[in-house]
Homo-oligomer: A and B are copies of this chain.
Amino acid sequence: MPLERTINRISEFVSERDWSQFHNSKDLALALSIEAAELNELFLWKSTEGADPIKLKEELADIFIYALLLAEKHNLNIEDIILEKLQKNSDKYPINRAKGKSDKYTELI
């Protein structure tokens, strides 16, 4: 299991504060999207690389924390689900049709 020590530290942090009572899947997903918005706010009205690097690191960490809590709750191994999804994305975006194009797969001819 990758990141095992890190996941254990997150679980300990939650458990010490008795917070797992709040951590249903719907609210964890909501928390994740709120952190994603805070990450995006670092770029608002700015250039594509205009975010403060310290804040970027912190917001990204919060996103990983909620994503790992959700994965843990559903007994998902993150390496497995990522590799499986990359395989699925490979089918949706075959190299010969998707190369150099940013179109959504529904729009690739």
Contacts and interface: CB of A to CB of B under 8 A. Distances in A.
Interface of A: 2-3, 5-6, 9-10, 13, 16-19, 21-22, 24-27, 29-34, 36-51, 53, 56-58, 60-65, 67-68, 70-71, 74, 76, 78-79, 81-86, 88-90, 93, 95, 98-100, 102
Given A25-B51, A26-B46, A27-B44, A13 B90 contact: yes
Nearest to A85: B61
Given A6-B79, A22-B102, A90-B13, A58 B85 contact: yes
**Secondary structure dominating the interface of A:** helix
A56 to B, nearest CB: 7
This chain's copy number in the assembly: 4
Contacts of A81: 57-58, 60-61, 64
Nearest to A49: B25
Contact of A74 (B44, B56, B95): B56
